[in-house]
Structure 1
Amino acid sequence: MSRGIDNHNPGNIRHGDNWQGLRETQTDKAFCQFIAPEWGIRATLKILRNYERKYGLNSIRQIIARWAPPNENDTEAYIAFVCQKVGVPGSAVIDMDNTATLRRLVQAMIQMENGQQPYSDDIFTRAFELL
């Protein structure tokens, strides 16, 4: 399994915020560890919504460029992968209040981050309910 899946942090969120649902003991020095995957997905959703609200980032290109910067990732390949999975061009505006679109975006990001997207629709539904 990948580190993100093991940590219930499929977005690979780094330490820095005191997220709800964090494990009491954090043994990964770089990445947050959550008590269940829905908490890690919830944190990813919160970050993406904040990208739009705080910084005006609302296209896949803008979102992924911030999420996976070129100094750490092949950002262009990441953008292309997510666009293909979501079915929209990189410049298309993503409606962060559209649950279906946001779910496809996060599922694509999870697959890119971890090489797989193992979570059921029920886990995503619970993550959205935790918002």
Structure 2
Amino acid sequence: MNPSIINGNHFQDHRGILRYNNDFDASSIKRIYIIENKDLSIERAWQGHRIEQRWFSAIKGSFLIKLIQIDNWENPNPESTVLEFEINDQNLEILHIPSGYISSIKATTDDARLLVMADYLLGEIKDEYRFPLDYFK
């Protein structure tokens, strides 16, 4: 399975704005949390999961998300292909990250907030992999 954007939308009238995503099935979600980077220089990279899936949604501002599919978790290829996605808070779009990927998260606007959803509870399985920021080219 490949990473993909699940598009949302919004409706606006005299009362305000309603952002929605009617195509997102949240039935697999067991845990949620929010990431707020200290400033725009911070890049949270590279962390991923062999088993877990993640869903990212920018609830404030925008983010550049880089993803790499990992085939060999003990010795990943430093020249692996990097996929890039830009997500923002305008239409409640959700980036689905299937199992088998590592990610880099970088806010591109001040005070940005990223909602992260996962399909396993914290500590339910041992499935966290981290690599140095400069490991991948």
TM-score (norm: length of structure 1): 0.26
The structure with the greater share of residues assigned to strand is: 2
The structure with the greater share of residues assigned to helix is: 1
